[in-house]
Structure 1
Amino acid sequence: MSADEIGRAVAQLLFEAGAIHVSCGQPFILAAGWASPVYVDCRVLLGDPERRRAVTDLALARLTEDFPAGAIDAIAGAETAGIPFAAWLADRTGLKLRYVRKGPLGIGRNAQVEGGPVEGLKVLLMDDLTTDGGSKLAFARGLRAAGATVEHILTIFYHGVFPGTEDRLREAGLTLHALSTWADVLDADAGDRLAPADRAEVERFLEDPVAWSTWHGGRNTLAPRL
């Protein structure tokens, strides 16, 4: 199954699950601080058994396509929604499972990585959504501090529109593998899933997301590199 086919299939699942929310009035403020007329809620895929099996099948297909046997020792789910997706994929592949918090717990062992040691392991970081990559850098730092080798990220949906995202990940030695992007969503829309006014607003946002965010009270630049 090609990456394009996987992208369209994931986009269709997102539409069917009601994960694509458009607001032409009050903008959404994404976790990274950007203002957006559209919010993609990959977490709705968690609740339906058929859809979560389907997205796990598609993630497995992408994993098989992108990585040779033995290239990964463990999958680490990113707090919070990345954890169940990583667990299902780890079950399907027989790989070790870990999870990584946004920061150390602050109590007990003060651990950021749970599920067992990662020292010396080649770990794939998995999350549900990637906006501008900022949280992925923090997760990767936590895994690396615990001794893991982390070079790749697998995400269910990637906005892919905020400038500099892939550059900042590349500078950190990270490659992003996205199951679906806005190109897949608009392709899957085929003119009948989004209302014309909603699609037009999404397309205006995608033409210049930084300007759209700035105009609507959100962030206007990428966060400084840490």
Structure 2
Amino acid sequence: MSVNQSHAARTAEILLDIKAISFNTKDYFRLASGKCSPVYVDCRRIISFPKARTEIIAMMVDLIRDRVGLDYFQNIAGGETAGIPFSAFVANEMNLPMTYIRKKPKGYGKNARIEGLLGSGDNTLLVEDLATDGGSKFSFVDAIRQAGGICHYSSVVFYYDIFPEAAQKLQDHGIELLFLTNWEAILNSRNIKSLLSSDEINIVSTFLENPEVWQKNNCG
């Protein structure tokens, strides 16, 4: 999983500018898992900033063109819920049909899990806002495949890129991850030193080097 350095740097700059990346090195953020973290990524903020949104989607489409080719895909899919707006933006830019995948069947009517029209054999790109260890993508990819679609690629704005097992998990599931930026680009951004002191950067870096050990030592 290689990264376009120019896109990575620019996307990192945008995310910091719109405060999609947050830092709390004193009290820490409490995550849904119950663990704590000195960093928090909220790519949902992108949808509220038209200029940032337009530039990020353009870079994502460029990445798809460079890595795979736009003609390869017949469908753009988004996972409930954060992936839905991003898949819509990409589908519109690529002039392709869009579908979205529910986390679970809706439980009434047709009891559908996939909304929209997914053709049998359609090469489908799963678009999401971010990926941590990649595991959350598997359920959506499996749903696409079970419905007759073909899904070997997922595209995200932000990839944590700090979990050693993530790349192998994705490979084992037959998925190539296309991402615009990651933590390395954030910490190398020209804006970072105006946001964090050297001590705060050190705390964040220590967390990113080994989140599990850091959380054992710092999360009460």
Q: TM-score, normalised by structure 1?
A: 0.89
- Equivalent residue number for residue 205 of structure 2: 203
> Residues 56-135 of structure 1 correspond to what in structure 2 (within 5 A)?
56-135=57-136
Long gaps (5+) in structure 2 = none
Q: Distance in 1 between matches of 2:214 and 2:41?
A: 17
Q: Sort the Cα spacing of 1:217 and 1:48 in 2 relative to 1 into closer, same or farther, 3 A.
A: same
Q: By how many angstroms is 1:103 displaced?
A: 2.1
Residue type at the aligned position of 2:189? A
- Equivalent residue number for residue 139 of structure 2: 138
Is it true that 1:179 corresponds to 2:180 in the alignment?
Answer: yes
Contact 1:127–1:155 (8 Å) recurs in 2:
yes
Q: Sort the Cα spacing of 1:68 and 1:96 in 2 relative to 1 into closer, same or farther, 3 A.
A: same
> Residues 1-12 of structure 1 correspond to what in structure 2 (within 5 A)?
3-12=4-13
Q: Distance in 2 between matches of 1:216 and 1:200?
A: 14
Q: Sort the Cα spacing of 1:167 and 1:87 in 2 relative to 1 into closer, same or farther, 3 A.
A: same
- Equivalent residue number for residue 148 of structure 2: 147
Residue type at the aligned position of 1:187? N
Long gaps (5+) in structure 1 = 219-226
Q: Distance in 1 between matches of 2:26 and 2:136?
A: 28
Q: Distance in 1 between matches of 2:104 and 2:194?
A: 38
Q: Sort the Cα spacing of 1:134 and 1:69 in 2 relative to 1 into closer, same or farther, 3 A.
A: closer
Q: By how many angstroms is 1:215 displaced?
A: 3.0
Contact 2:186–2:192 (8 Å) recurs in 1:
no
Contact 1:76–1:124 (8 Å) recurs in 2:
yes
Contact 1:35–1:214 (8 Å) recurs in 2:
no
Q: TM-score, normalised by structure 2?
A: 0.91
Contact 1:35–1:212 (8 Å) recurs in 2:
no
Query: What value does the CA root-mean-square deviation take over the aligned residues?
Result: 1.8
- Equivalent residue number for residue 194 of structure 1: 195
Q: Distance in 2 between matches of 1:106 and 1:142?
A: 16
Q: Distance in 1 between matches of 2:35 and 2:165?
A: 14
Contact 2:16–2:191 (8 Å) recurs in 1:
no
Q: Sort the Cα spacing of 1:66 and 1:32 in 2 relative to 1 into closer, same or farther, 3 A.
A: farther
